[in-house]
Every structure is written in C-alpha cells, then in structure tokens.
C-alpha cells in the first residue's frame, strides 16, 4: 500500500505501508537502538508517539509472545527504512507486519529515515500524521498533524495504567497478560525458562504509571514481592498495604500534567517510606520534591546513552526513552543531582539528602539495552533494609 508521513512543518515522506491501515497522529521521534523493536512497540512510555527506527533494517527476527513489555502495543505508528522480507529466529511466532495488523498499528517503510532523523535533531520533535492506505490527502494529513493536541499538558498515564491492582509474580499467569510461566526443561516452553527465583521476602507497592514488565521481573529477582497499583491510587491506599517501600514506574507524556500522582508522591516522601523511581517515576519524584520539568528538543531514545555517576565518576551505558527532563537549577538544596547525561548534561539521577529517596531517568531493567545499571534494583533493596 502507498503510505506517507506528514509533518506539521509541511514535509512529506512517502513510502510503502505495512501493518494496519489507518491515519494516526502523534509526536514523531526516533530511537537509535539496533534491536528491541518488540519491546519498543509494547513500552507504554511511547503512548501517542510515531517512532522512527534509525537502524536501517527492522523485523528480521520477527515477534514472539514472550518479550512483550505490557499488555498491548501503545505507540501510534511505526516507521522503518526497510522492513525485513525474511523472519529468521527460532523464537519468532509471527512477522512484525502481522503483529502490527493484530495490534491495529500503521507502519511505514521505504522512506529516508536518516533525513527524517536529521530534521528532528535540527528542528526538534514534531507533530505528525502517518497515513497508510487511507483516503486522506497530504494536505489534510498536514492539517491533522498541526491540529493534534501534542504531548505538553496532556495526562497520558491514565490511558496506559492497569485498571485494577494485583500482586505480581513471574511464576503466575495473571489474566493472560503475563505469558511467562516458569517450569522445568521437560515441561516448559524453553523460551520462558528463567533462573530459580529467590524467596519474595520484601513486600513493596509498584505504582503503575505505564509499567514495563521487565521492571517487575527485576524487582522479583531481588526478592521483592511487588503489588502493582493503578496510577490513581492515593497515598493512603498505598500505605494501607503496609509496604516496605514504593517503586514508581516509567510512563508516557508530560510529567507536569500528572498532578494527582505528584501530590500523592509528595505525601509518600513526607511519610518517609523508601522510594525508587525510574523514568516518569524519576520525574514524579523530582516534581514532588520541588523541582520543575521541561521538554527536551528531541528526547533521549535508544540503548546507548552515556550517564556519569558523579560521586564515583563511573560511566554507565544506558537504555533511555523520554522526552522531558528535570531542571537541575529548580531543585531545592536538600535534593542532590548525582547522575548526568554526558551528551547534553541533563539530569539523569536524583537523591534526597535526608529522606530514603532516589531515582534515575533511564531504564536499568534494560529491555532492550545494556545491563550496566541492573545493580540499582539491589540498591533499592539495600535502602529498604537500612530503613
């Protein structure tokens, strides 16, 4: 099918469509990861975004039923230079195109993704409209892109959070959403085999702002028993569970728009319970501690972002996906910036000088990405044990 991407500045990128037919609007961004497209598709942080992959060929290892990061695909559209005509991987269950059809996501291939990425780096992320097989003119698509609401000031967390609270364990199949049953090599699908898990001896609440499943796996591997609660849960609801600590997850959109969560996180900080935040959870903590957020020009999205831990001088290569950041100059004196991005100097980690609170802007669960920062989950356990 003929397909195209229209940007709000009037630019048109014409190519071939794949996946589901349709016309969708979203913020056009780019991701520099070489692999991990399935995890990107199912990351709730990509809600309302049209994602462009900079790696030239995508889809060669297909899609499987195991490596999903949430209960559905959340992004608006998917753009690649070349869709692989061959799927060659023993774990694959279907092609990328078939998966996008099933999830209702339009795709576009055959455009100059390098030119698009260079435009976004120079101009910044832009609103766009991806049209695949629809009777929508280029002029109408440009108008739709310009009139789309965008990300700033919009609360997308309420659209991706689970509606009900539940206890999570990787050895359980909860409502068909977690297809990760663990068993012996004689009884289980070998794609699902995991190392034996330790005893779950620390109960925590994981506040779901758009939770990636690998975060829950990492928490469980450290002996936590996560109880996942919707983003709408109040501080009193959370504390009523008597958790040893509270984890704040990743999620989509403008952090300043999620005002109810910010207010609840402030109460949790004042209460003194140990807190650990990742990505949007990091931004919730930054705002609740008195800081301000701002929108990055084109965001950090990829599996190769360098982050420096200031106290030790150690540099981690990290997986990231965010379009907003915390303003270091807006933070009060009792909050320390202990990690920065070496590409642009933006805040990548915070800790409170008096409260058991810390956070990182990036994704230590690394799905996809490097494992340099996996020890942060152990740090959370150590923080709880000290308190």
Q: What is the DSSP string of 204-253?
A: EEEEESS--HHHHHHHHHTTEEEEEEETT--HHHHHHT--SEEEE----S
Residue 208's φ and ψ, nearest 5 degrees, are -90, 100
**Candidates 279, 282, 300, 316; catalytic one:** 279
Length of the chain in residues, anyone?
387
**Contact status, residue 238 vs residue 269, Cβ threshold 8 Å:** no
Q: What is the DSSP string of 103-165?
A: HT-EEEESS-HHHHHHHHHHH--EEEEEEESSS--HHHHHHHHHHS--STT---HHHHS-SS-
Q: How far apart (Å, rounded) are the C-alpha atoms in residues 251 and 158?
A: 10
Whether 29 is a known active-site residue: answer no
Which SS3 state, helix, strand or coil, does residue 385 take? Answer: helix
Whether 363 is a known active-site residue: answer yes
Q: What is the DSSP string of 327-383?
A: -GGGS-TTEEEEEEETTT--EEEEEESSSSEEEESS-TT-SSS--TTTTHHHHHHHH
Distances 342 to 180, 281, 286, 346 between C-alpha atoms, Å:
36, 21, 20, 8
**Candidates 162, 282, 322, 363; catalytic one:** 363
Burial of 190 (0-12, 13-18, 19+ CB in 10 A): exposed
Whether 25 is a known active-site residue: answer no
Q: Which residue is it, tokens 């092609």?
A: 95
DSSP structure class, residue 102: H
How far apart, in Å, do the first and last CA atoms of the chain sit? 59
Question: Residues with catalytic annotation?
Answer: 279, 363, 365
């Amino acid at each position: 099918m003929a397909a195209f991407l229209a940007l709000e500045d009037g630019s048109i990128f014409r190519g071939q469509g794949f996946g589901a037919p349709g016309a969708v609007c979203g913020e056009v961004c780019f991701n520099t990861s070489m692999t991990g497209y399935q995890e990107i598709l199912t990351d709730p942080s990509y809600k309302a975004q049209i994602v462009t992959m900079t790696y030239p060929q995508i889809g060669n290892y297909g899609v499987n039923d195991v490596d999903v990061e949430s209960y559905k695909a959340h992004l608006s559209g998917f753009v690649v230079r070349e869709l692989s005509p061959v799927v060659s991987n023993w774990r694959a269950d279907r092609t990328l195109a078939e998966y996008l059809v099933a999830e209702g996501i339009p795709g576009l291939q055959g455009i100059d993704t390098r030119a698009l990425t260079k435009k976004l780096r120079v101009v910044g992320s832009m609103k766009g409209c991806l049209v695949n097989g629809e009777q929508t003119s280029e002029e109408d698509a440009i108008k739709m892109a310009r009139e789309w609401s965008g990300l700033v000031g919009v609360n997308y967390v309420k659209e991706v959070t689970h509606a009900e609270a539940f206890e999570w364990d990787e050895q359980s199949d909860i409502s068909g959403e977690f297809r990760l049953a663990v068993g012996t090599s004689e009884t289980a699908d070998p794609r699902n085999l995991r190392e034996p898990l330790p005893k779950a001896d620390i109960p925590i609440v994981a506040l779901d702002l758009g939770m990636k499943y690998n975060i829950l796996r990492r928490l469980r591997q450290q002996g936590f028993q996560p109880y996942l609660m919707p983003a709408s849960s109040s501080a009193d609801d959370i504390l009523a569970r008597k958790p040893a600590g509270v984890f704040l997850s990743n999620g989509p959109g403008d952090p300043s728009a999620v005002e109810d969560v910010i207010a609840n996180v402030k109460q949790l900080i004042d209460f003194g319970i140990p807190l650990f935040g990742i990505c949007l959870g990091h931004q919730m903590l930054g705002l609740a501690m008195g800081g301000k957020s701002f929108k990055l020009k084109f965001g950090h999205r990829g599996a190769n972002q360098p982050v420096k831990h200031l106290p030790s001088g150690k540099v981690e290569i990290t997986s990231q996906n965010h379009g907003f950041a915390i303003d270091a100059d807006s933070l009060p004196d009792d909050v320390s910036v202990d990690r920065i991005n070496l590409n642009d100097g933006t805040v990548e980690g915070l800790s409170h000088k008096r409260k058991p609170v810390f956070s990182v802007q990036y994704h230590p669960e690394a799905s996809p990405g490097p494992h340099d920062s996996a020890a942060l989950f152990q740090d959370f356990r150590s923080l709880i044990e000290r308190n």
